[in-house]
Structure 1
Amino acid sequence: MFFASDNAGPVHPQVMQALVDANHGYAMPYGADPWMEEVRTRLRDIFEAPDAAIYLIATGTGANALALATLCDPFQTVFCSEVAHIHEDECNAPEFYTGGAKLTLIRSGDKITPEALEAAILKEGSRGVHGPQRGPVALTQVTERGSVYTVTELTALASIAKSYDLPVHLDGARFANALVTLNASPADMTWRAGVDAVSFGGTKNGLMGVEAVIFFDPSKAWEFELRRKRGAHLFSKHRYLSAQMAGYLKDDLWLTLARQANETCAYLADGLRAAGADFLYPPQANMIFASLSRAVHKRLHEAGAVYYLWSGELDGADPDEPLTARFVCDWSLTRDEVDKFLSHTN
């Protein structure tokens, strides 16, 4: 009954086998291995972007920070949601890797709205040399509260960014989960919508530890390569990153795993709804924010359920007080485990 994070789930056997298969003999280092060429070809096909520049990074923070650094000058600001991962959970890595660029937080809740984005852009860049200059717009898909931007919403936000000549970065740590929800194509959810660069996540969806950074404008490639090396994120034994990603993409495993996680999450949401839970946001992918009474939370924890409370304390006086919690489903979570969990909510 583990719902704390999709980072905690196991590596899929197909990915593990790909690593075993790659662990023979010698292979050129630093991304010159044959598996990396396979990954480039496959991702270019998936995104319908034959000229895209594609690189692998072992961590999501590294992927986001290095991508943003390539799109942002030190004297600029990155426009992002107030609950964006780059703000809440990356220990100022974007500021560090950009050489000091700030983050401008857009306070419009879980999703950035076009009106809020334009207001934030207009507010910055208005003080000449004395203030931060306008820089990239950073979007998160799936958002940190479990919501999914539609293609129309992404296009509207990117259109505003482009009207001010600003690039757009998409943090796609849960890219596959969003894509399954929308039943869209990767191209429609990225470059056709106006996205310039994407962090294509894998670690939360069955990989040991790999994210792809994709630039649809290949002119950014050399700068990113230099930043990756200077930032100590260029693996020497790179084949072990490449093999993971190759195994992930083979036979569309990445979509299969995301679909499993989303379907399990929908099943959990139905069960929580039947138990009287209130949802902070409508469940759309593989993450739920729901309120249950303190008494129910205590029963769940005593039964061994693992998840994070988002508000309130477990040790409180009022057993009926509603406490919000986050529940995340990974690809390996079974319905039997969900049923066991739900049995303690009534």
Structure 2
Amino acid sequence: MTRAKQFLSDNAASVHPRLWDAMKAADGPDSPYDGDRVSQQMDEAFTDLFGRECTALWVATGTAANCLALASMVQPHGGVVCHREAHIEMDEGGAPGFYLHGAKLLLAEGESAKITPDTITDVIGPIRDDVHQVQPHAISITQASEYGCSYRADEIAAIAELAKKRGLGLHMDGARFGNACAFLGGSASDAAGAVDALSFGFVKNGGLSAEAIVFFDAGLADVARYRRKRAGHLQSKGRYLAAQILAMLEGDLWLDNARSANAAAQEIAKAAADRLIHPVEANEIFLRCTAEERGALRAEGFEFYDWGSDAARLVTAWNTPQEDALALAQSIARL
């Protein structure tokens, strides 16, 4: 029987062994919630990483990270501008409306699931400044985007300038922030730009059950603390979440893991050639592939998701075996 070669999702990947060690090291009695010695190290760790003052809160899921970050800057009568393919619109089961108490998502267009100042203006420009229409309160961008494409520093800067001019908050969904940062080759600060809050993803990158909301505005963090408790995400033994996050930051494990995933994706992308639907700038590959061709790949033991009727999505992870990536690349080249 052919061994399954898994390219379904980086969510399906194993937990990095250093995280198990870190959680074991955090064992023993300590203060509950986020008063423990491990959680108290998070602000300093992220401040060192980004080179500017940060306040970081742990939560269990990316959905909670996105929604609690946005809830700190958006009122119930307001709206959040995002791409129409953004995770908060397509894959969070209405959670933004729940956490933001009815605030609306205002959907913008853009190539490869990236929005621009022009496409944002197309959405918010026609909105009258009166009580009869939902007013924009924030912009949310995804790094890397839902189609695996990374925002460059100048692109983020242009959006940040518009946000500042319009008095809007700027949030970044960084579920695959590590992969974007590894692709861009610069610093974490460059990959984040001048956002007010970043949902820093770890679970897709070798983590277990911890994501971080990194606030560059301490006032927003103060609001989010209360909302986190109210939402049921203030875990009593939070030190085990903090331990995972700090283990990922230590020695840039988060970046090493992302580089490994990206390298596997690039190996496959080279073979895909003109089948590629979007540039491969992280660890996701979208390729044109008929139902018959997808069946042939599955018959060789490759697991992945269909993406519509004539495409496939392939996702690599931090621990994707090199031989599996090479085998998939060869099989795609033979199609």
Could you state the TM-score of these two structures normalised by the residue count of structure 1?
0.92
Structure 2 counterpart of 1:261: 261
Higher mean displacement: 229-238 or 115-124: 115-124
Verify the 8 A CA contact 1:308 1:327 in the aligned structure 2. Answer: yes
Unpaired runs of 5+ residues, structure 2, are none
- The 5 A counterparts of 1:77-156 are 77-109=79-111, 110-124=113-127, 126=128, 128-156=130-158
Q: Deviations over 1:126-185 (max 9, x none)?
A: 051111012100000000011111010011111111111111000001111111111122
For 2:146 and 2:46, how far apart are their aligned partners in 1? 25
Contact map agreement 1:35 1:243 (CA 8 A) in 2: yes
Partner of 1:317 in structure 2?
A: none
Aligned to 2:239: 239
Alpha-carbon distance between aligned partners in 2 of 1:156 and 1:99, rounded to the nearest angstrom: 29
Deviations 1:97-136 (A, max 9, x none): 1111000000224211221111212122x05111101210
Q: Structure 1 residues 105-114 or 197-206, which shifts more?
A: 105-114
Contact 2:151–2:191 (CA under 8 A) maintained in structure 1: no
**1:270 and 2:267 matched:** no
Name 1:215's counterpart in structure 2: 215
Q: 1:37 maps to what in 2? A: 40
Measured in 1, the distance between the counterparts of 2:189 and 2:151 equals 15
1:95 and 1:101 in contact (8 A); partners too: yes
Are 1:19 and 2:23 counterparts?
yes
Deviations 1:255-306 (A, max 9, x none): 1001111111101111222xxx511111111101001233321111122211
Distance 1:152 1:12 in 2: 33
User: What is the aligned partner in structure 2 of residue 161 from structure 1?
Assistant: 163
Deviations 1:170-221 (A, max 9, x none): 000111111111112222233xx32111001100000001111011111122
Q: What's the CA shift string for 1:285-337, capped at 9, x where partnerless? A: 1101001233321111122211011021xxxxxxxxxx211011000002101
> Which amino acid letter does the alignment assign opposite residue 335 of structure 1?
Q
Asked if structure 1 preserves the Cα contact closer than 8 Å seen for 2:180 and 2:282, the reply is yes
Matched, 1:28 2:31: yes
Partner secondary structure for residue 15 of structure 1: helix
Which one-letter code corresponds to 2:38 in the other structure? W
User: d(CA) in 2 for partners of 1:307 and 1:198?
Assistant: 29
What's the C-alpha RMSD, in Å, of the aligned pairs? 1.3
Matched, 1:289 2:289: no
CA distance in 1, matches of 2:180, 2:191: 9
Q: CA deviation at 1:343?
A: 4.1
Bigger shift: residues 323-332 or 215-224: 215-224
Residue of structure 1 in register with 2:298 after alignment:
301
Select which of 317, 321, 324 maps to 1:334. 321
Aligned residue pair count: 328
2:277 to 277, 280, 283: 280
The percentage of aligned residue pairs carrying the same residue is 38
Give secondary structure in 2 for the equivalent of 1:187.
Answer: helix
Q: What letter is aligned with 2:22?
A: A
Q: Distance in 1 between matches of 2:177 and 2:90?
A: 19
Report the more deviating stretch, 30-39 or 11-20. Answer: 30-39
